[in-house]
Structure 1
Amino acid sequence: MGQKIHAFMFPWFAFGHMTPYLHLANKLAEKGHRVTFLLPKKAQKQLEHLNLFPDSIVFHPITIPHVDGLPAGAETPSDIHVSLWRFLSTAMDLTRDQMEAAVRALKPDLILFDLAHWVPEVAKEFGLKSMLYNVISATSIAHDLVPGGELGVPPPGYPSSKLLFRGHHAHALLSFSVYYKRFYYRLTTGLTNCDFISIRTCKEIEGKFCDYIARQYQKNVLLTGPMLPEPDKSKPLEERWFHWLSGFEKGSVVFCALGSQITLEKDQFQELCLGMELTGLPFLVAVTPPKGEKTIQEALPEGFEERVKGRGVVWGEWVQQPLILAHSSVGCFVSHCGFGSMWESLMSDCQIVLLPYLADQVLNTRLLTDELEVSVEVEREETGWFSKESLSVAVTSVMDKDSEIGNLVRRNHSKLKEVVVSPGLLTSYTDKFVDTLENLLNDAYLE
């Protein structure tokens, strides 16, 4: 094999997985390597603008086969309800022949994957190497995805007594258990059978969990850093938000976003709105319309819009989250603590308030709240319900200048941010990752 690598990338079809893969593809292409990126046809249009090296990164469209139970035209998890994801994962398995045909025709050196647990078999068949590139936190894998694990119960030797599920997280485990067994099997099989493991994280945040995974699977674990996109200087914050945010004092606005995959029940959505109102602070909430409602407007609590006019906006469409967080008037970020949002919150100057829904988000929340002490979590009842009062209390506890907890998490966050955004830290991760990968592959093919 020559010095230059030709890598296939085949991530799970969710945008939260495909996007960091594409950022990694850009880093490989920057170093002169080639990438063939396998993805559903429709997703290609939404990701094209992130491909910074179209001559070196080629999109290879995959046709999603028909599966009973999967709505026609559905290609990504954001097209369907979480309860139907299992049908999409079945469809992914049925694309194996398309993957094999592409490997046969294009002869890559390496295949990167996450949930398609059969990729190592395909790689071995063709004499290639496979790498499981994991884009959820090392914390989640260490807690739930090591051999012999059990849902919600950390395995022996797990390196933290703080990162555990609590009673009020039962709702998250329940929501996860629908596809947990399938998910667990896929990841543990992939981790066991692949040649190399890599994780989208850095040791400054999750070092002991990465070491634990390396010991469990007896493989090197390569880290890529958080793989966030380079800020696009050509696309400033939309005028409407820039103008609106600029009307408030520095650090006074609460920004709440719960990601594209979380759709609240109407009563919980209304409680969220009322909790924001109760803080008395200016706020911008960006969430999808609640279940059963076509628009945000028709789901708002009665009289709400009039009461918060001029200081509060609830928005039902996509917003430029990193640019909003970077605006000087935003002082608090209320988030579901998905892994991408977790990194964005750490790199911002905002106070962090967390409202997790899925199991991995709960573990990310424990990492930030209990292990690193840089955030607070909104208190919930055993049923998973949070009240407007508990949301308001969490937000005001970090926004009050005299609050002890607010000052503690601000100090800790500030120190950690300094480390994470220190010049060269993220580039050094990707440089080291690419160098190590080149050496591993050269050694493997010389054997």
Structure 2
Amino acid sequence: MDPAHSSDLHIVMFPWFGLGHIMPFLHISNKLARKGHRISFFVPAKTLSKIQHFNRFPRLITFFPITVPHVDGLPVGAETTSDVPSPFYLLLMTAMDRTERDVELLLLELKPHIVFFDVAYWIPKLACKLGIKTVYFLVLNLVMAGYLSGCERAEQEMSIPFEKLLLQPPSSFPDSSIKLHLHETRFFVRRKTLGLGNDIKLDDRLRIGRAECDALVSKGCKEIEGPFVEFAERNIGKPMLLVGPVIPESPTNGLGLEDKWVNFLCGFEAGSVIYCGLGSETVLKKDQFQELLLGFELSGYPFLAALKPPFGTETIEEALPEGFEGRVKGRGVVHGGWIQQQLILKHPSVGCYVTHCGYGSMMEGLVLNESCQLVMIPFANDQIYNARLIANRLKAGVEVERGEEDGFFTRESVCKAIRTVMEENYSEVGREIRANCSKLRELLLNKDTESSYIDDLIKKLQDLMS
């Protein structure tokens, strides 16, 4: 298609091989397809079946399976971060790099206008050679991107150790209440050094991709992240295009909530059940796993927790605290498999969502149930900044208190956070959080807000082609 003769765009999506990245790319694909634009979506072959029912516009969104080559050290058949523990992610990046020739052949055949990418840092040079524009899609928090970029710039200009800079928001950062704890800085320091032998480091991959693309796009809206946009632009050195809140679409497979969950949830009053989902990649240490469950028990509320078995265990059952099953029988369930999270959150009995604060999960908690309150336990990356933005700046949720150095939470701190948002009649803080959460939910659900952001994004993408 010749852009000179049509305003319709043809966009290729090539996300990092992790569902936490693939799904945001698919959500924005649905938003763009709704406006009539064509999407070619590159996805690991065996992952296709897990996501195709989220394609709301199959006439305009076409999936192209990518064969992920085997890399020594990776389990045979591993395709995404869901298939391997985090120490193997670097090998998965090497496998992604080895798809470059296949991607080039597809681009030559499809002749898109633009490629959206993130971890595949080599996309800008490849696309430029083919006359294709590139957009770095920042699926992680815009606040985090600005914070880390500000620290990196200060490190270069002031020769202060990066780990020391992380403990305080960088100079002119818009909000002093959003900052890291000591145990969180270690994660970001380690990330800067991650690499395999002479392979490119993880942070360098991200930096090169941002530096060589034609534009950056980020989830978010000025009503929430506004003060951080200019700061991020200044420190990253690229204009930042916002796509709005990108509310996740419901799947199209038509399946209702499983009977066992309907029967369990319907046994309790409206807004009384705690639902806990920490994402597909979060694995707790056994003692933290048990403290979390004991916190639910201590709260006195009924609960449904979808968790992976903790480190060193094979099953949920072997990791449960002694006597726990008997004490919570009839009011508490711990589930170790896949669960229909969107449908669970929509159920009127759910009144509290304990989340790891992945962006998509957090949005689901905010918009799917008007009475659901957020309790946040972030673990890494943008989860930390999502939690601080909601809890500290917007005061629309509460973050579980943890040890400054070790990052551990206790059953008491879990219970305290839950009761803060659930017992609104006994806590002025809880009433304020509920009111602010309601205002934020109203803003996010405003269809005119979302549509105007997508329209503005499309215009700027079209301008990029001129």
Q: TM-score range by the shorter chain?
A: over 0.9
Aligned match for 1:425, one of 435, 441, 449: 449
Could you tell me which residue of structure 2 aligns to residue 254 of structure 1?
Answer: 274
Aligned match for 2:214, one of 191, 195, 215: 195
Could you tell me which residue of structure 2 aligns to residue 164 of structure 1?
Answer: 179
Ranges in structure 2 where 5+ consecutive residues have no aligned partner: 156-161
Aligned match for 1:373, one of 395, 401, 423: 395
* TM-score normalised per structure 2: 0.89
Equivalent position amino acid for 1:230 in 2: E
Please report how far the alpha carbon of residue 390 of structure 1 lies from its aligned counterpart in structure 2 after TM superposition: 1.5
- Alpha carbons of structure 1 residues 167 and 432: separation in structure 2 relative to 1, 3 Å: same
Q: Secondary structure at the match of 2:48?
A: helix
1:75-94 equivalences in 2 (<5 Å): 75-94=79-98
1:387 correspondence with 2:410: yes
1:77-102 Cα offsets, whole Å, 9 max, x none, are: 11111111111112111211111111
In structure 2, distance between residues paired with 1:384 and 1:122: 42
Please report how far the alpha carbon of residue 242 of structure 1 lies from its aligned counterpart in structure 2 after TM superposition: 2.0
1:437 correspondence with 2:461: yes
Q: Is the 8 A contact 1:175 1:358 kept in 2?
A: no
1:223 correspondence with 2:247: no
- Alpha carbons of structure 1 residues 417 and 104: separation in structure 2 relative to 1, 3 Å: same
Ranges in structure 1 where 5+ consecutive residues have no aligned partner: none
In structure 1, distance between residues paired with 2:422 and 2:35: 44
Aligned match for 2:431, one of 407, 410, 433: 407
- Alpha carbons of structure 1 residues 343 and 392: separation in structure 2 relative to 1, 3 Å: same
Aligned match for 1:129, one of 103, 121, 133: 133
Could you tell me which residue of structure 1 aligns to residue 41 of structure 2?
Answer: 37
Aligned match for 1:330, one of 345, 350, 365: 350
In structure 2, distance between residues paired with 1:227 and 1:259: 19
Please report how far the alpha carbon of residue 178 of structure 1 lies from its aligned counterpart in structure 2 after TM superposition: 6.5
- Count residues in correspondence: 442
1:240 correspondence with 2:255: no
- Alpha carbons of structure 1 residues 122 and 63: separation in structure 2 relative to 1, 3 Å: same
In structure 2, distance between residues paired with 1:343 and 1:231: 12
1:273-305 Cα offsets, whole Å, 9 max, x none, are: 111111111111111111232221222112111
Identity of aligned residues (%): 45
In structure 1, distance between residues paired with 2:60 and 2:269: 45
In structure 2, distance between residues paired with 1:377 and 1:408: 15
In structure 1, distance between residues paired with 2:186 and 2:327: 32
Could you tell me which residue of structure 2 aligns to residue 363 of structure 1?
Answer: 385
Q: Secondary structure at the match of 1:352?
A: strand
Please report how far the alpha carbon of residue 370 of structure 1 lies from its aligned counterpart in structure 2 after TM superposition: 0.9
Aligned match for 1:280, one of 300, 310, 327: 300
Question: Which one is further off, 130-139 or 228-237?
Answer: 228-237
- Alpha carbons of structure 1 residues 94 and 125: separation in structure 2 relative to 1, 3 Å: same
- Alpha carbons of structure 1 residues 113 and 204: separation in structure 2 relative to 1, 3 Å: same
Q: Is the 8 A contact 2:402 2:408 kept in 1?
A: yes
1:108-187 equivalences in 2 (<5 Å): 108-145=112-149, 148=153, 150=162, 152=166, 154-170=169-185, 172-173=187-188, 179=194, 182-187=201-206
In structure 2, distance between residues paired with 1:142 and 1:183: 17
Q: Secondary structure at the match of 1:424?
A: helix
Could you tell me which residue of structure 2 aligns to residue 353 of structure 1?
Answer: 375
Question: Which one is further off, 167-176 or 373-382?
Answer: 167-176
In structure 2, distance between residues paired with 1:390 and 1:196: 42
Could you tell me which residue of structure 1 aligns to residue 10 of structure 2?
Answer: 6
* TM-score normalised per structure 1: 0.93
1:308-353 Cα offsets, whole Å, 9 max, x none, are: 0111111111222222222222111111111112222232432211
